[in-house]
Amino acid sequence: MNKIDNPKPNTWSEILKRPTKTVDDIEVTVKEIFKEVQKKGDEAVAKYTSIFDGVTIENYEVTSEEIQEAVGLISAELKEAIQLAKSNIYKFHAAQKTEKVAVETIEGVNCWQEKRPIQKIGLYIPGGTAPLFSTVLMLAVPAEIAGCKQIVLCSPPDKNGKINPAILYAAQLCGVTKIVKVGGIQAIAGMTFGTQSIPKVYKIFGPGNQFVTVAKQLATQFGVAIDMPAGPSELLIVADDTAVPAFVASDLLSQAEHGTDSQVILVSTSRKLINAIEKEVQIQIEALPRKAIAAKAIENSKLILVENDTIALDLINEYGPEHFIICSEFDDFYSNGVCNAGSVFIGNYTPESAGDYASGTNHTLPTNGYAKNYSGVNLDSFMKSMTFQKISEKGIQNIGKAIEIMAEAEGLQAHKNAVTLRLKSIEQRK
């Protein structure tokens, strides 16, 4: 683990660099697959499913029989856990509903805003060494609350042409309307253009490897929205001597086990605590089944000692972490002062994994510094705000002259005429 003592602000950008990789070669591959899927549809999907997943599938859509089989494979204990998580996620996201906002801006001019669901949603759920059925809950539950009519889920098949049963169980529990056994770039391309088996959608959600991430960004060039640019998982913890070293170490490792390119950072005003946490990490990592992955990520981790909490907060806001854990005597100082973070976890008994699974908040969050300008997924991510206005005769008289003057100043005579004709009509009837 890399220890850094009291780094000067002019070195922060270098110290806080993410372990991102070049995407030049990836972009070439993604563009080629997109072109082929756009032109050949399922034929191209089949080709790349065979190449990348090593399986040939005749029917990509998951059948009701397959779902029922999956339900039977899930233990009662896991079902109960998923149901509890779903209940909390539902409560938190349902609470985000807002009423219509209406105002009369001037007499006779009524303006209001209403929200409408995005009709066609695509969810991408990774299914490799860590099949993220929890992400199904995080995306399908708010989509269902929002009222999205079509919720399409794509997830890569295993060598037997099947999707992990926990993913299927969560999907049928949360209102997913169609499940497709396709992963990777070809899944994103399929949801972008539509194929014989994969419906075209209006917005794509979900995490993935660097190929999926680049594919989602390319999808935006074809009129499809995405939840956010996302990269490898990351966590920053600020802690002082009130923190429990074993707890902090466990949180660092919980993110490190996501992938070798995950990034974990500890910021502290206590050298003693940093040393204690470093020892705990070495003890706990030995028992992890994903030790090799976690160890690689830990090699790139940072243990940063700073002089005081003000410097720590400035450094944290400069980094803009996806996940931010506060284990400090001054938790109000940090929670009130943080400007850039995807999701914040406060106190010794608030592990990041609670947000990943069952507390209720969403775990689909901005990474790679995008917390500075993106929100994590929430109910509004599945909706659009639409504005309405209704103007009476009195209203157009109240604002008409201003519109005419402004339109003429911009050289847009037809804009002016649209008002002038109405004002003259009113005058003629007097």
Residues 24-34: tens digit of each pLDDT: 778 999 999 99
* 323 in catalytic set: yes
What is the reported pLDDT for 149? 98
Q: Tell me, which fold does domain 392-428 have in CATH?
A: 1.20.5
Rounded to whole angstroms, how far apart are CA atoms 57 and 53? 10
Q: Is the pLDDT at 107 greater than 70, yes or no?
A: yes
Instruction: Provide the strand spans (E) within 213-370.
Output: 225-226, 234-239, 263-268, 302-305, 323-327, 343-346
> Considering 234, 257, 323, 352, which one is annotated as catalytic?
323
Fold of 231-375: Rossmann fold (3.40.50)
The domain 24-226 having CATH identifier 3.40.50.1980: the answer here is: yes
Report whether 93 belongs to an annotated binding site.
Answer: no
335 annotated binding-site participant? no
- The CATH 3.40.50.1980 portion of the chain extends over 24-226, 231-375
Q: Annotated catalytic, 234?
A: no
Distance CA 41, CA 330 (A): 56
Mean pLDDT of 3-32: 88
Of 280, 322, 352, 363, the catalytic one is 322
Q: Residue 121: phi, psi to the nearest 5?
A: -115, 140
Taking only the tens place, the pLDDT of each residue in 157-178 is 999 999 999 999 999 999 999 9
Per-residue CA distances from 180 to 177, 191, 197, 251, 406 (Å): 10, 10, 8, 34, 53
Q: Where do the CATH 1.20.5.1300 domains begin and end in the chain?
A: 392-428
Instruction: Please check the confidence at residue 329 and state whether its pLDDT lies above 80.
Output: yes
Looking at residue 430, its pLDDT comes to 75
Q: At what angle do helices 24-40 and 184-193 cross, to 10 degrees?
A: 50
